[in-house]
Structure formats: C-alpha cells, structure tokens
Amino acid sequence: MKIVACVKRVPTTEATAKLAADGRSLDPTGWQYMLSFYDELAVEEALKTKEKQGGEVTVVTLGPSDASKEVRECLARGADHGVILKDADPAARDPRSTAKALAAKIKALGADVVFTGRVATDRDHAAVGPMLATYLGWACVGEVHALELGAEGGTAKRETEHGVETVTFRLPAVITCNKGLNEPRRASLKGIMAAKSKTIAEEAPLAVDTQTLVVKVELPPSRKAGRIVGEGAAAVPALITALKTEAQVL
Amino acid sequence: MAFQQLDYLLLDDQFSEDERMVRDTVRAWVTERYLPLAMEHFEAGTFPLELTPELAELGVFGPTVPQEYGGAGMNSVAYGLICQELERGDSGLRSYVSVQGSLVMYPIFAYGSEAQKKRWLPLLASGKAIGCFGLTEPDFGSNPGGMLTTAKKTADGWVLNGRKMWITNGTVSDVAVVWARAEEGILGFLVERGAKGFSAPEQKHKFSLRASITSELVLEDVQVGKDALLPNVKGLKGPLGCLNQARYGIAWGGLGAAFACFDEALQYSKSRIVFDKPLAGFQLPQKKFADMGTQITMAQLLALRLGRLKDEGRATAAMVSMAKRNNVMLGLEVARTCRDILGANGISLEYQVGRHMCNLESVVTYEGTHDIHTLAIGQELTGIPAFR
C-alpha cells in the first residue's frame, strides 16, 4: 500500500506572537518549530497502517528547506521517504493553494491513502485535508478518532457536535486525524541512525495562485491587570458588585 | 514546555541534525518519563527498574556498539549527548546506563570472544540482561593494581575469590564483569547471577546516588568455565580501557547536571521577589550566574572538542581525564551555588538542585577521583608521575 502522511512544521507553543513590520503577518524571529500535534497523529496512523498492510510511507510537507528537521524526525519514527515541496513563505499561501500543490504531488506518488492532521495548530484553518480530498476526487473522512483500515477500505469513527458518527468508506481516501486516534511513538536512537540513510527530496511545488490574501493581522488586546477587592467573606459583597457592574457577568 | 539548556555561544550549530535529534529525543523522554519519578525514588533509595524496557526501546544501552550486536552504531558525540541528557535527569539514571554500555557492553565488545559477544550484547542492548562492573575493592579504589581478588586456573576453568565494593547495579545484575589477579596478570571474567559462591548484597544508607543500586560483590570459591574469561585482554589496561569510555560519558553528564541546576536557579531567581524586585535583579546573584554561565560554556566546548577528537580516534586518556575532572567539578560547584540561590527551598527535594548536589559528590569521586585525574593531567604535562 502506498501511504502518504502530510505534515506541517508549526511554531512551538512557547513562541511569542509579535506583529511583523508589514502589519499582515507575525514576526518569526526567535521561533522554534515542531510538528503540528495532529500531524503527529497522521504520521503514527500511517506507520501503523504500513505495519498492518505492508507498503511504504512517504511524508510530504510544503514549507522551507528547514522543515527537513521535522521530516527527518518522521523518518526516524519509521517513515520511508520524505518530500519537501519547497516554499520559503508558506504562510503567504491560502489553504486552497496548499491543497492543490499537495494533491499534484500525491497524484504523482500514486498513493492509496493519505493521512493529515485535523488542523494545523498555527493557522487553524482545518481546510487543507478536506480540500485535498476534493481535488483528488477521493473519499474524505474527517476528524477521525478511531479507525479500522483494510486493503480496500475501512470504518472510521468521528466525533461531531451531535454525537459520534461511524462511517464506512472505500479507498482511495484522505483521512484527517483527531485526538484519541493513537499515541504517537517516539523516535528510537536506532531509528535516528536509520533515518540518516533515507532521502528527503526537495521539489518545487505546483504554482497555484492564492485566492485569499491576509491584509491585516491584529493581536488580541492585552488583558487588564487583575484587582483584589478584599479578603475572606467580608469581600463577597464587593466582589458581587464588581461582577455585576464591571464585568457584567451576573 | 521543552527544556531549553543554556547555549550562550550558539553551540547548537556545531551538532549535526541527527546528533540534535538524539539529544532532543532523550531529553523529552527524561522530562516525560523520568523527572516525575525522580524525587520519590531518590527519597526511597530505589531505582525505577520498570523503566528498563523503555530505556532499551529508546536505544540508550550501548548506542555506540555496532548494529549487528544490537547497538545503534552511533558516534561518540551522540553518546555524550545521551549521557548529558540522562544526567540532566539524575546521576543515578546516567550511571545505570553508563555501566551497562561503557563498563559491561564495551569490554564484552572489545575484549570478548565472538560467542560472548553474540550471547550477551543483544541481551544487554535490549535490557533483557543487566550487567555490572567489578573492579574497585574495599581497600583498593584509586590503586586498582593492588587488588586482592584472585583467579586460579583449574582443569575446567577458573576459581574466583575476593570482594568488590561500590558496584553500581550489582544486586540486579545478570552478569558481572569481574577483574581478578591471576598468575598471568589481571584478567576479566563474566560471572553470571546464581553462580555458586557469588552474591551481591546491596549497600544502603547513602546520601548520594540514592536512586541507583550500589552493591558489594562477594566471590567465595566461585567456579567458572573457561568460556567465562574475556580472552582478548590482559593487565590493567583492560579495566582502564572501559573506564576511559565511561569517564568520557561522565564528562558530558556533569554538564547535564549543571544545565538542570542553572536553569532551575535562573527561573527561580527571576520569579522570586525579595525587597520588591526579582532576586535575579541583584548584583550578587548576577555575579553567580555570570560565573556559572561562563564556566558551563567552557565545559561545553571541552566536551564537544573531546567528542570530535574521539570520533577521529585522536582522544587520549589524559584528555578524558581533563574533561571528567573539569566538568564534574563544574557540575558540583554549579549545584552548590544554585542550591544557595534557592535559599531554604534549595534543601527541598521538590527542587532538583539539592539532589544533583548530593549525587555529584559520588560522581566527582568515582571513575577516578578528582585528585587522581589531577595527577593524570600533571603527568601528561610534566612527564613525571606523582601517584606514589
């Protein structure tokens, strides 16, 4: 089975958001990067599928050359090949242009199944996975937290606002992975050594026009400092007054 | 939040991508799996043996041993980083792994027969067997050449008699590398758990390396077969060769303990308010941080350069002495200073500094005391041995 996991490197949770000089983006100075949490689930599910069904796992990312660190980490966990669709400024793309570029590469790879994260933890669009399925013309199984996958198709559970849906689908399919699906493995030191001999191909992505453009970014207003209204039971009346008149939550 | 070490001179650039990945992988494991247990085990005087399969899966047992024997075939810099990260957790954890890799797997790999290598190395790499190293005796520490443990040749093999002391992992070991004096000179033997006359009682009541098992090895007319002898080494160079591997890792380990203490004291002093401003804003703490930061950075350079030389086959025992001596004393001094910065909180095991400080009293003593390494460097510089 030809299995693809799409991943994205995102700033670590410690990264601070600072507006860039253009007012349309964030200043990445000093940021460290990591695999987006949900993409880790996608890689793990791809590896589990390979272990059950046989085949090969290719990890595909769209981003700068520096994303080789995150791709190499996937190879150390057991993926076979890595592909970087090289784009020095992936933040300038909209989800449609990312999905089109990924779809072109996945078609060329002849994949049977694609795993992506439910959402990337930086931009929060949750759009690339479903768009990818649309451009490929494949089944889209979104936000999956339990999966049984065979050679021809499978059954998945997905959590919705009104309850848990069980769906069946046929391959080829794009599956977007949600929390609870699996517990991502760590790379072992042997895996890291093995990854040294695996290749990461860098290619130019399909040129696609971006249809939406970020024109302005505003950071959330900084929180006002707290105020201590008093201590113990004696402070309760003042607290209630403040909650009614200032916070207006009562 | 992922641990970020001090990196004043941006030395991260000097490591390869896979070396950094090794470091970060072990670092994350220590943060998630070991640190939550560290205080409890230190206090109870126990080692979390249940973590052995995880450590094996991670691949930290004998990572420089070639893959055909179950190792990962890593370079020395990566091995150093592993030791650094394990000791960032606890010196007891690093000791558990160092002994298995440098003092048990290394001599079997370097001095053992093919049959010994094929039998033991995969078992030790996978954590299915634990090993220990018996050199030090109650009356012979810095002068191992004076050892009293004997090996006598018999028709079927050898008979071993003697006592070893301060042996990490002894009580839980499946195999002990025991060094003994024979007519032919000092020889190494693989003594298996359960051999008649062989026991390994635990040494209790330590205030240091509490989360590490320390034992005596008692050998009373222990009969072992011919195949127990490590055939490819004779003389003190056998055990000293092993110690050289372990000491190299310990030089990185001292750095790991220093990183942990420095980071804890820095965070603490930035948030601790005294006289209406952070402790870190006063001149005395700043001098301490400036001194420690400089010394840690120099120790990093020393470890890294030594590692690269080792990978080129150019590192000497005297160089390893310098790095072990400097970096472990650095770790101990940083731990003491940081303990002081934390004030009364510094004596609580809720913080790491006191634990590291106590542990490093052992580390500065074992694998060649600070003073013995001083003499080794002195001999290297002057050409005159001053040991006796």
pLDDT single digits (tens) B249-300: 999 999 999 999 999 999 999 999 999 999 999 999 999 999 999 999 999 9
Residues of chain A found within 8 Å of residue B58, distances taken between Cβ atoms: 186, 188-189
Task: Give yes or no for a contact between A75 and A198, defined as CB atoms under 8 angstroms apart.
Answer: yes
Assign domain A2-203 to its CATH superfamily.
HUPs (3.40.50.620)
Residues of chain B found within 8 Å of residue A191, distances taken between Cβ atoms: 59
User: Would residue B3 count as lying in a domain?
Assistant: no
Looking at chain A, which residue has its C-alpha nearest residue B3?
A: A14
The token pair that represents B166 in the structure block: 């301060």
Mean pLDDT, range A179-207, rounded to an integer: 93
Rounded to the nearest angstrom, the minimum Cα separation between A187 and chain B is 7
Instruction: Check residue B1 and give its pLDDT.
Output: 65
User: Which 1-40 residues of chain A touch chain B by CB within 8 A?
Assistant: 12-14
pLDDT at B204 over 80: yes
Residues of chain A found within 8 Å of residue B74, distances taken between Cβ atoms: 189, 193
C-alpha–C-alpha distance, residues B163 and B167, integer Å: 11
Q: Flag if B22 and A189 touch (Cβ within 8 Å).
A: yes
Q: B85 and B150 share a domain?
A: no
CATH code of residue B177: 2.40.110.10
Q: B242 and B378 share a domain?
A: yes
Q: How many CB atoms lie within 10 A of CB A223?
A: 6
Instruction: Check residue B257 and give its pLDDT.
Output: 98
pLDDT at B133 over 90: yes
Q: Please name the member of A14, A190, A195 whose beta carbon is closest to the beta carbon of B59.
A: A190
Mean pLDDT, range B113-125, rounded to an integer: 96
pLDDT in tens, B31-70: 999 999 999 999 999 999 999 999 999 999 999 888 889 8
Mean pLDDT, range B203-228, rounded to an integer: 97
For residue B336, which amino acid is it?
A: R
C-alpha–C-alpha distance, residues A185 and A57, integer Å: 15
Mean pLDDT, range B77-106, rounded to an integer: 97
CATH code of residue B45: 1.10.540.10
pLDDT in tens, A109-129: 999 999 999 999 998 999 999
Q: B147 and B91 share a domain?
A: no
pLDDT at B245 over 80: yes
CB-based contact (8 Å) between B22 and chain A?
A: yes
Task: Give yes or no for a contact between B219 and B196, defined as CB atoms under 8 angstroms apart.
Answer: no
Mean pLDDT, range B176-183, rounded to an integer: 97
Is B367 a catalytic site residue?
A: yes
User: Would residue B6 count as lying in a domain?
Assistant: no
Q: B248 and B370 share a domain?
A: yes
Q: Please name the member of A13, A14, A73 whose beta carbon is closest to the beta carbon of B21.
A: A73
User: Which 81-140 residues of chain B touch chain A by CB within 8 A?
Assistant: 82
Looking at chain B, which residue has its C-alpha nearest residue A196?
A: B18
Q: B259 and B316 share a domain?
A: yes
pLDDT in tens, A170-188: 999 999 999 999 999 999 9
Task: Give yes or no for a contact between A36 and A121, defined as CB atoms under 8 angstroms apart.
Answer: yes
pLDDT at B315 over 90: yes
Mean pLDDT, range A161-173, rounded to an integer: 95
User: Closest by alpha carbon to B91, among B3, B168, B199?
Assistant: B168
Q: B107 and B149 share a domain?
A: no
ipTM of this predicted complex?
A: 0.83
C-alpha–C-alpha distance, residues A84 and B234, integer Å: 54
Q: B40 and B145 share a domain?
A: no
Chosen domain end from B177, B202, B228: B228
Domain ranges of chain A: 2-203, 225-250
pLDDT at A227 over 90: no
Q: Flag if A193 and B58 touch (Cβ within 8 Å).
A: no
Residues of chain A found within 8 Å of residue B20, distances taken between Cβ atoms: 69
Q: Please name the member of B21, B29, B67 whose beta carbon is closest to the beta carbon of A192.
A: B21
Residues of chain B found within 8 Å of residue A69, distances taken between Cβ atoms: 17, 20-21
Q: What is the mean pLDDT of chain B?
A: 96
User: Which 67-86 residues of chain A touch chain B by CB within 8 A?
Assistant: 68-69, 72-73, 76
Question: Which of A51-55, A177-181, A186-190, B219-223 is predicted least confidently?
Answer: A186-190
Mutate which: B16, B17, B33, B126, vs A, most A CBs within 10 A: B17
Mean pLDDT, range B64-83, rounded to an integer: 92
Q: Flag if B1 and A14 touch (Cβ within 8 Å).
A: yes
Number of domains in chain B: 3
Q: B174 and B219 share a domain?
A: yes
Q: B216 and B266 share a domain?
A: no
Strand partners, B189: B178, B229
pLDDT over 70 percentage in chain A: 100
Provide the domain limits for residue B185.
131-228
